[in-house]
Structure 1
Amino acid sequence: MSPRGKHAGDLELPTKPRLAAWSAMVLLAACWQVRATDPYPSTYQRYPGEPTLITQVTIFDGEGGRLDDASILFADGEVVALGKDIAAPAGARVIDGRGKWVTPGIIDAHSHLGALSSPQVKASADLNEMTNANTAQAWVEHSVWPQDPAFARALANGGVTALQILPGSSNLFGGRSVVLKNVPARTVQQMKFPGAPYGLKMACGENPKKRYTTSRMGNVAITRQAWAKAAEYKREWDGYRDRGGTPPKRDLQLDTLMGVLAGEILVHHHCFRADEMAQMLDLSREFGYRITAFHHAVEAYKIADLLRDSSVCAVVFSDWWGGKLEMRDAIDENLPLLENASACAMIHSDNAMLIQRLNQEVAKALAAGRRAGLEISDERAWTWLSINPAKVLGIADRTGSLRPGKMADIVLWNGHPFSVYTRPEKVWIDGALLFDALDPGRQPISDFDLRERAGRPDSVGRRRTFP
């Protein structure tokens, strides 16, 4: 597959064990879409770019590597080469990177942009479908407003090039997530990351307990019952594919849970406490599905070995605590302790402001770890912002690091990317320059901002115009 992903409507070819099931499912086209086909496919098309060579720059490759006084060349939407003595092809734009840094674009594995739009008022709060403890039938992409001004701010201020939009955590099963490229678009389908798998948002702890149950054992009981029902639903469909006859009655809620049991949908689990994460791992083994990541996970450091051995990632804050009682054991060293235990870990925002400074959130966690004697290099810490979130979103084969053939999702920082004084100078997505701090014509803003700012003088007295 091309690193740019499949064209909309393309299907993954089935593996041999699934060939019989695939053939039977084709016969259901009139009554049920093939599960591997997205009924709302991506119509993403990359913006046009130009061959670009950045020279004499420090590079964090996103996988823990660092190159000093190096160059990076990208063209046709992909990284072409990085290293020393790279010649500029004819017609390429050459940028002097002395004193600057290049990194992969930041990927936020836990965001609510578009579904909890700015300004955050009740009319634009479409994050939680709080009508039932289980709303697995809801898809957050049907709430995403592509013109949310927070998307442009995350790009320009934070260097965020891709992000997962999740439903909220009020429900035990909140619904499906969607992975987006952070590009200006009129529809959510034009932002959808081609070929990225869907996720299922689940939650445990205080949020669902205060709305749908009165205890944590009630949370688990309802969750177990839902998976038992989904397992039976899957058996019915598997039996129909094997033997034919009358198809089972379609249930949109159970379709999502069956997709998890089939390994097609990734589980992203809101969970703060270590004991509850362990309980959820036990539950996943009972019903034969895999948890991809625990989100927030402020006590992940207590079970770092358990998460590592279970191949489950932790998506965490740097220093948030005290928002609720289940956060009381949060520590600033959580992220570096997970790294030190060889567990998969990363930073996330969960917030329209925090997404604009995730590099600084990593810097805080890195400093806390060093004070505790955990010496983790800057370039290694960048994995918490790029390749690790790409892995939990199922897109690491195409983005998340600077490797030839991968998407040219790139940030040029005007200083060390872990400094509070540093900002993105330029941001490319698929090799297209979508933000340039030095060019007013390459500073994307939303319709909301345009109405607020058009024709008003800027800080040096110029009247800004917008493309």
Structure 2
Amino acid sequence: MKSLQIVMCGLLLAACMVLPVSTGAQPQAAGRHGPPGRKPAPSANTAPIIPDDGPPPTVSFMTDRDPSTYKPLPRQDFLIVHATVLDGAGHRFDDADVLVRDGKIVAVGSGLDGGSARVIDARNRWVTPGIVDPHSHNGTYSMPLTSIDNESSDVSEMSSPIAADTWIEHAINSQDASFLYALKGGVTTLQVLPGSTPQIGGRAVTLHTIPAPTVAAMKFPGAPQGLKMSCGENAKGYFGGKGQKPTSRQGEMSNLRDIFYQADAYRQRWRHYQRDPKGPPPARDLKLETLAAVLDGDLLVNIHCYRADDMAEMQALASEFKFKITAFHHAVEGYKDPDLFRKTGTCAVVWPDWWGFKMEANDGIRENAAILDAAGVCVTLHSDSPVIGQHLNIEAAKAAGAGRHMGLAEPPEHVITWITSNPARVLGLQDRIGTLAPGYDADIVIWSGNPFSVYAQADLVTIDGAVAYDRADPAHQPVSDFQLGRKAGGTGQ
């Protein structure tokens, strides 16, 4: 038996050394990397091929081929006066003012002096940070859908369960009208994620909801990049149905552990080359490059997961390979074990009332968000749909209402964090958006009334202090190319 174990360990080690090869430039030196000392537990089949015998050198797997070209819309300084302000940090200010200069929030208070700034009277209206949607498929799951989307939608690369080498921004149609409908609903920033059929769907992108001819012109400058992963029914159902691995949950975990072992070996080879650059550099592999960035702590990991036991398995995977899960998305059974989130600082990105549409969603409950929130978990609502993305304020209201019904009542100044500062944290932008405080980007919504009322509408939306949408001014009501043409019921004149 011992000799068989030795043979098997040798085979595993050899498998880790056989890496797929793809062409491309070398990973760039400099940039950020994770903390030193990321070592797998020493054993026959986890020890790195090149010993990790010191702090990592400055090799980065985070080259951005398409950097942001975003430029703020034309803007002016302004002072909002006499508003009910929910600041996104848990505070409410009545009859309050918000001063904005040079695209940044300067002050929130009463009786502020705006000097020559434009004055906006918000009496009887409410002001909040711009809504942040941490889970969108806008631009790739464009409505209306066509027959081609059944088998070749741009939302996912379906040729392999491991699509870590793909970037969703390379598929996004910036002309999708859903972006502007979201803007009309108060959304100023959203994260577009790949779909959940592959186990590793690829890299995400964070965008502003502005009209633009290219994705690069919408990209949030300096936003950290995310990665989409999934667990549960989707991968085993799709790929198993085609006779491919995985056909089971255990097959899914086997795939993930195998590819992360390969990624760690790949990372160590590059570190070794940086320490001793003799001979040719390691062959570049885009899949392993993405996962090496995860191991370095440079990508924010977002995992589609429904069941509590599946989330526990993914946390065990993260613990084994020493990376952090930023958020579980959907998480309909999160209420069963809040410690799955609280112990690691993982956020829960949830719906208020979706359940029963697939087997792993059968135990979803309306009170999920409120229970997790009461347990001290970072909770945020999300769309996952171009329709829901137009009224995330009402999604938050529904979740709060369910909590109130079971005795977990929270005031508006707390509920607003579920769609502002908490999702900003999921995006790694908690120090720039999601809160009305000095120095933050002036992404602001002026609502016609309480934003958690079904009658409330976004009257004015600013991004970086520029008016992006104004319900009272057609000049600030952008439309997509998809919407141009004859008006419904009109004469075309």
Q: CA deviation at 1:451?
A: 2.3
2:57 equivalent to 1:21: yes
**For residue 484 of structure 2, what is the amino acid of its counterpart?**
L
Total equivalences in the alignment? 438
Equivalent residues in 2 for 1:51-450 (5 A)? Answer: 51-90=77-116, 92-123=117-148, 125-156=153-184, 158-212=185-239, 213-245=246-278, 246-450=280-484
Scaled by the length of structure 1, what TM-score is found? 0.90
Deviation above 6 Å: which 4+ runs of structure 1?
A: 13-20
**For residue 94 of structure 1, what is the amino acid of its counterpart?**
V
CA distance in 2, matches of 1:389, 1:15: 23
Q: CA deviation at 1:123?
A: 4.4
Deviations 1:228-281 (A, max 9, x none): 111111111111111212211100111100110011111100000000000100
Number of the residue aligned with 1:3: none
Q: CA deviation at 1:455?
A: 11
CA distance in 1, matches of 2:284, 2:167: 17
CA distance in 2, matches of 1:13, 1:237: 15
Distance 1:15 1:277, change over 3 A: closer
List alignment gaps of at least 5 residues for structure 2. Answer: 1-29, 37-53, 240-245
Report if the CA contact (8 A) 2:33-2:297 is conserved.
no
**For residue 434 of structure 2, what is the amino acid of its counterpart?**
G
CA RMSD of aligned residues (A): 2.0
Deviations 1:160-213 (A, max 9, x none): 000000000001111110011111111101111111111111010011010222
CA distance in 1, matches of 2:329, 2:232: 12
Percent of paired sites with the same residue: 48
Equivalent residues in 2 for 1:8-47 (5 A)? Answer: 21-22=57-58, 25=59, 34-47=60-73
Higher radius of gyration, 1 or 2: 2
Secondary structure of residue in 1 paired with 2:188? strand
CA distance in 1, matches of 2:250, 2:371: 30
CA distance in 1, matches of 2:486, 2:348: 39
Distance 1:289 1:370, change over 3 A: same
Distance 1:102 1:254, change over 3 A: same
Q: CA deviation at 1:16?
A: 10
**For residue 377 of structure 1, what is the amino acid of its counterpart?**
P
**For residue 285 of structure 2, what is the amino acid of its counterpart?**
D
Q: CA deviation at 1:452?
A: 4.5
Q: CA deviation at 1:36?
A: 4.1
Report if the CA contact (8 A) 1:74-1:80 is conserved.
yes
CA distance in 2, matches of 1:436, 1:359: 18
**For residue 83 of structure 2, what is the amino acid of its counterpart?**
V
Secondary structure of residue in 2 paired with 1:211? helix
CA distance in 2, matches of 1:70, 1:456: 44
Report if the CA contact (8 A) 2:315-2:340 is conserved.
no
Q: CA deviation at 1:87?
A: 1.4
**For residue 439 of structure 1, what is the amino acid of its counterpart?**
D
Distance 1:298 1:457, change over 3 A: farther
CA distance in 2, matches of 1:403, 1:239: 45
**For residue 302 of structure 2, what is the amino acid of its counterpart?**
H
Distance 1:55 1:329, change over 3 A: same
Report if the CA contact (8 A) 2:70-2:217 is conserved.
yes
Q: CA deviation at 1:222?
A: 0.8
Secondary structure of residue in 2 paired with 1:190? coil
